[in-house]
Structure 1
Amino acid sequence: MIKKLLQRVFRKPAPTSRKASNDSAVLRIPFKQHQIQRQLLSPAALKTIEGLQKAGFEAYVVGGAVRDLLLKQRPKDFDVATNATPEQVHRVFRRSRIIGRRFRLVHVMFGDETVEVSTFRGSHLGDDGDAKIADSGRILRDNVFGSHEEDAVRRDFTANALYYNPANEEIIDFHHGVADIRAGVLRMIGDPVTRYREDPVRMLRAVRLSAKLGLKLDTDTEAPIPELADALKDVPESRLFDEMLKLFLSGHALESAHALRQHGLHHGLLPLLDVVLEQPMGARFVTLALQNTDERVLADKPVSPAFLFATLLWHEVLAAWQKYENLGERSIPALHLAMTDVCDQQAEKLAIHKRFSSTMKEIWGLQPRFEQRAGKRPFSLIEHPRYRAGYDFLLLRCASGELPEELGEWWTDFAEANGEARQAMLQPDTEPRKRPRRRRRKPAASAGA
């Protein structure tokens, strides 16, 4: 006990990039300077904060929502930070549930909207609290609660360490995040090497936010990334997949893809993504796919993760398909072997959910069928549940130069035509007919049976 007491007394404070050790360093920015009205928050976020404040707790909108509002962008969601413990939050709101192992959170539900509420985090470097750190420095478990100031230190970037109080429309800024946002800089709080080792996913987040927000990475924040890229190998595949989804569905997927390669973060995430982007055919195809994804995201249209990853991995499938055909496999079995190989290889690096990988295989498997335009085949294909996704994939292949544009135009016309017009569009069936199987005669029953 004496040892633990001495460690608490003499424990070094968590490093910060700027002084925030006393209240005089905290900036309280009034509405006149930031112009963020409380009406810009979602009704559920306002109700959550009002409920916690009426119960006697501190509560603020925190992080990305405040940052996005300062940048005149619409936040995707509104997270709340409070000094109430998860159990206390749960008691305040009847419709809520405690989630998470690495760090416990509370989801508060109002109708269709869910607000994520986190308790102020404390330092994970001490012996008190429920924390566990790997030898590499990566945080494995982090259920350590602390003060408002400690929570700000634990945030990743200065732009995310901002707290908005709708009661007085004031922003609390511990690390000059507002100034960094206005200067167009994304800066890590604390020593970047230490923070990346604590959570290597922060490197992906830095690239994603830089591309999405148009903020330039601070020199010290950017410098260690290529050297620490291998640390991503220790991150659970499911977390990598979730972060990659955020990156490619940010509305700035194309910039993010090039930024990944620029910072040396592509290896091991999407196999040979750098090679694909450098191949004339592959580069054109991937560029069109990412541009299409960005346009849909920015237009608030739905985007299928399965379709996106199917496009990013397609030229890996093509290469494996050709390999198996060269080994003597027939075309369709060769394609299925190729799809399995690519998905298995990807599963070792990025845990693509099975529901997505199954759809990816269906989209890939439909592609040879689009080249069959005779007989009943086009009619059965157009009724397939994945026809639309396969058709959109085909159009990307045609637009990239992989297939003749005439093929995509034929299917567009075929889908819009009526029954008689469709029949007239069919091409002559030149494929050899399969011989009907000869039924084996059953042996005659013996007389004594």
Structure 2
Amino acid sequence: MLTRLSKSGYEAYLVGGGVRDLLLGREPKDFDVATNARPEEVKQVFNNCRLIGRRFRLAHVHFGREIIEVATFRSNQKTTEAGDRQVENGMILRDNVYGTLEEDAQRRDFTINALYYNIDDFSVVDFANGMVDLQQGVIRLLGDVESRYREDPVRLLRAIRFAAKLGFVIEPATEAPIARFAPLLGEVPSARLYEEVLKLFLGGAALESFEKLRHYELFGQLFPATEEALSHEDHEFPITFVNRGMANTDDRLSQGKSVTPAFLFAVLLWEPVRLRAERFEAEGAHPLEALQNAAAEVLSEQAKHVSIPKRFSYPMRDIWQLQARFTQRQGKRPQRLASHPKFRAAYDFLLLRAESGEVDQELADWWTLYQHANGEEKVSMTEQGRRGRGRRRRKRRKKTQTVDE
């Protein structure tokens, strides 16, 4: 691809995270290209190209399922052309002012992301001393720190993500204003923050990212109801539950297993849903109705901060609502529950609740045994549950009779 752009008379470099990860000996997830070709010119070179974006005009070149993002060099220079750059209260709303390679380097967010790989001589072009920071393990913003955060508050989250993912330290000047500027995230569209949250928690360092987000007071900007619940917890299990959920996500990714955002968000929002459901029950609502109403309210409020697509919010509701059914272990109810499409996700959720101390470990162990039992063993287990329920009822009746006498 770089060769084709070069043969067409354009400069072209690999840039950003792909170059950074290669230099660190990591496997890049994707590659980005920077060029002096305008988006329309890139489209002329590649038939399999689609132009996207208003805020930043980009070219996406498709190779099967792979997409290479191609960005034109950008400049800090102002322009008289209407619509090329739009800035409001320091935040860049649109930026399609094109420039040179060196100008583009100064527009990058962090020094370690301002490295360009030149295939002509296999060299790394570094205008920002990014190689030094890469070798020393430092996250450093380019330019005036406060101005760069105001231009794009998502850089606050990116600083946390790179520090957590790479195990780097955040340079003091870059770190100092993070908590103070946290409210700026409220000005970022919730759909964009959704994408950033996925990068934070599905990059293999979910637990470290969660802890850093809370440390720098950013988590409350993304999940205010959860932060409120965790900051006023009466027991240790809520924070333990989230910690274990994040660690479980990291473990699955390290083993090459899939992780659905539905499960991730179900973990992050469970505590406010649980507390609100308890309140509704105390006010007289049926447990299932209380949980349904609590889920609806929490998800509605959450959408104002981090938008969660319906294809994930519906499975989240299933995971939550199935939790009550795990206590019903008599007759054919376990069999019906085990055949539910979301049973496995709900069961994994139950395991986390047991590990954190929210529910008895015995309940989780029973369901683990049930799944591995044969037909006769399952019948025996559900009959024992029925007899146990009968004994509990008789004890209650006997106790009631004693009190009456």
Calculate the TM-score normalised by the size of structure 1: 0.83
- 2:321 aligned with 1:368: no
Q: What is the total number of aligned residue pairs between the two structures?
A: 384
Question: Structure 2 CA distance, aligned partners of 1:210 and 1:277?
Answer: 24
Residues 56-75 of structure 1, C-alpha deviation per residue, up to 9 Å, x if partnerless?
11111100111111111111
Residues 27-61 of structure 1, C-alpha deviation per residue, up to 9 Å, x if partnerless?
xxxxxxxxxxxxxxxxxxxxx11111111111111
Question: Structure 1 CA distance, aligned partners of 2:78 and 2:173?
Answer: 23
User: What does 1:161-310 align with in structure 2 at a 5 Å threshold?
Assistant: 161-277=114-230, 279=233, 280-310=236-266
CA contact (8 A) 1:130 1:144 kept: no
Q: Which among 367, 386, 389 is matched to residue 428 of structure 1?
A: 386
Query: Which amino acid counterpart does residue 344 of structure 1 have in structure 2?
Result: S
The corresponding residue for 1:383 is: 339
The corresponding residue for 2:397 is: none
CA contact (8 A) 2:226 2:271 kept: no
How far is the alpha carbon of 1:124 from its aligned partner?
A: 5.8
Question: Structure 2 CA distance, aligned partners of 1:360 and 1:287?
Answer: 18
The corresponding residue for 2:356 is: 400
- 2:57 aligned with 1:104: yes
How far is the alpha carbon of 1:404 from its aligned partner?
A: 1.3
How far is the alpha carbon of 1:131 from its aligned partner?
A: 3.1
CA contact (8 A) 1:124 1:142 kept: no
Residues 207-266 of structure 1, C-alpha deviation per residue, up to 9 Å, x if partnerless?
111111111111111111121111111111111111111111121111111111211212
Question: Structure 2 CA distance, aligned partners of 1:65 and 1:55?
Answer: 23
> Counterpart of 2:288 in 1: which secondary structure?
helix
Which ranges in structure 2 are unaligned for 5 or more consecutive residues? Answer: 391-405
Q: Which among 54, 58, 69 is matched to residue 116 of structure 1?
A: 69
Q: Which among 64, 86, 108 is matched to residue 17 of structure 2?
A: 64
User: Which structure has the larger Rg?
Assistant: 1
Question: Structure 2 CA distance, aligned partners of 1:177 and 1:191?
Answer: 16
Question: Structure 1 CA distance, aligned partners of 2:3 and 2:258?
Answer: 33
Question: Structure 1 CA distance, aligned partners of 2:281 and 2:64?
Answer: 54
Question: Structure 1 CA distance, aligned partners of 2:99 and 2:81?
Answer: 11
Question: Structure 1 CA distance, aligned partners of 2:78 and 2:27?
Answer: 36
Question: Structure 2 CA distance, aligned partners of 1:227 and 1:267?
Answer: 13
Question: Structure 1 CA distance, aligned partners of 2:198 and 2:229?
Answer: 19
The corresponding residue for 2:280 is: 324
Question: Structure 1 CA distance, aligned partners of 2:196 and 2:64?
Answer: 27
Query: Which amino acid counterpart does residue 283 of structure 2 have in structure 1?
Result: L
CA contact (8 A) 2:13 2:33 kept: yes
> Counterpart of 1:127 in 2: which secondary structure?
coil
Summarize the Cα distance change of 1:129–1:218 in structure 2 as closer, same or farther, 3 Å threshold.
farther
CA contact (8 A) 2:252 2:259 kept: yes
Question: Structure 1 CA distance, aligned partners of 2:254 and 2:28?
Answer: 13
Residues 81-128 of structure 1, C-alpha deviation per residue, up to 9 Å, x if partnerless?
111111111111111111111111111122222111111112263334
Residues 379-411 of structure 1, C-alpha deviation per residue, up to 9 Å, x if partnerless?
111111111111110111111111111111111
How far is the alpha carbon of 1:276 from its aligned partner?
A: 4.8
Q: CA RMSD in A?
A: 1.6
The corresponding residue for 1:337 is: 293
Question: Structure 2 CA distance, aligned partners of 1:334 and 1:276?
Answer: 18
How far is the alpha carbon of 1:272 from its aligned partner?
A: 4.3
Summarize the Cα distance change of 1:274–1:339 in structure 2 as closer, same or farther, 3 Å threshold.
closer
Question: Structure 1 CA distance, aligned partners of 2:66 and 2:289?
Answer: 46
The corresponding residue for 1:413 is: 369
Question: Structure 1 CA distance, aligned partners of 2:128 and 2:85?
Answer: 26
The corresponding residue for 2:267 is: 311
Question: Structure 2 CA distance, aligned partners of 1:269 and 1:144?
Answer: 31
How far is the alpha carbon of 1:167 from its aligned partner?
A: 2.9
CA contact (8 A) 1:254 1:290 kept: yes
Question: Structure 2 CA distance, aligned partners of 1:241 and 1:63?
Answer: 21
* Percentage of matched positions with identical amino acids: 50
